[in-house]
Chain A
């Protein structure tokens, strides 16, 4: 009783490890995840290094560039602390993105805004070559249009296009049936297509 009251080490530090059944042929991160679960913090750093770009890309498109770094950091902290409970029945990237989407929802609720970021506030890309300018302009326009989508459509589409997750992985990350994912992505594309055709931007 006394020890419970006075011991300040977080409860997660002593959380029992969940049974772990990871298929190394299915996930290229398996070896690093196994090492991280056995206390190798450098292994978790390597996992972060592998996934940070995609995590940031997803967060930037869900909550905007201003709040994306915090969302990613909180996601990583949650993933690090909950790693002993990770059962390995999904790919590690799916696990990370599921946490990130929840974190982005919390951020969006906290900010209480339907459009996650102002139209003009799109992260600047590579300022270099002129040949990249056109692609950058496309990305800017797409980011604006995606920001106007309803959140369920935006989440599904961004997980598909920015994170490169498969439909079943998106379904797992969002906690919805795979058919729902398909319809959300199709409707998101349809809305974007209509918007771009209206603006004369569609290819």
Chain B
């Protein structure tokens, strides 16, 4: 009797009528049931809470990052200012060798020469 029915390609040559009955039965067994619906409802609620927490944490994270960045810039500015001030003080107050007065040196040399016995004129 089954030999007279049209065959379904890709199903091992099974008669079409049998295939559809089995597929309906299988589809019924795999369709979402009440437990899936209940779990889906709970998952949707859990997701909503998770999403709200996620969205709420983003502005907070931005604010925290802003404060952290501000602290970083304050630290860098204070350090740079301190270094600059120390350098300035060092440059200004560092004891430099006394300026050499060439004429005074020459005069003292000549005086010295003049005091030597048989010194030059």
Contacts and interface: CB of A to CB of B under 8 A. Distances in A.
Contact of B22 (A52, A146, A193): A193
A61 B30 contact: yes
Interface in A168-190: 182-183, 186, 189-190
Contacts of B64: 8
Contacts of B26: 142, 161, 189, 192
Interface in A103-118: none
B23 A9 contact: no
Contact of A138 (B14, B29, B37, B58): B29
A55 B40 CA distance: 8
A73 B47 contact: yes
B29 A141 contact: yes
B101 interface: no
B47 A45 contact: yes
Interface in A39-96: 41, 44-45, 48-49, 52-57, 60-61, 68-69, 72-73, 76-77, 80
B30 A158 contact: yes
Nearest to A202: B22
Interface stretch (B65-73, B79-87, B88-96): B65-73
A183 B37 CA distance: 30
9 contacts: A45-B44, A52-B40, A53-B36, A123-B36, A123-B39, A126-B35, A141-B29, A190-B11, A202-B22
Contacts of B5: none
Given A9-B65, A48-B48, A203-B25, A183 B10 contact: yes
For chain A, what secondary structure do more than half of its interface residues adopt (helix, strand, loop), or is it mixed? helix
Interface residues of A, number: 53
B31 interface: yes
A135 B28 contact: yes
B27 A56 contact: no
A56 B39 contact: yes
Given A45-B48, A189-B11, A69 B39 contact: yes
Contacts of B40: 52-57
Interface of A: 2-3, 6-9, 13, 41, 44-45, 48-49, 52-57, 60-61, 68-69, 72-73, 76-77, 80, 123-126, 132, 135-136, 138-139, 141-143, 146, 157-158, 161-162, 182-183, 186, 189-190, 192-193, 202-203
A109 B94 CA distance: 71
Contacts of B10: 182-183, 186
B16 to A, nearest CB: 13
A125 B68 contact: no
A162 B30 contact: yes
Contacts of A69: 39, 43, 46
A52 B11 contact: no
A6 B65 contact: yes
A138 B26 CA distance: 9
Contact of B51 (A41, A158, A192, A193): A41
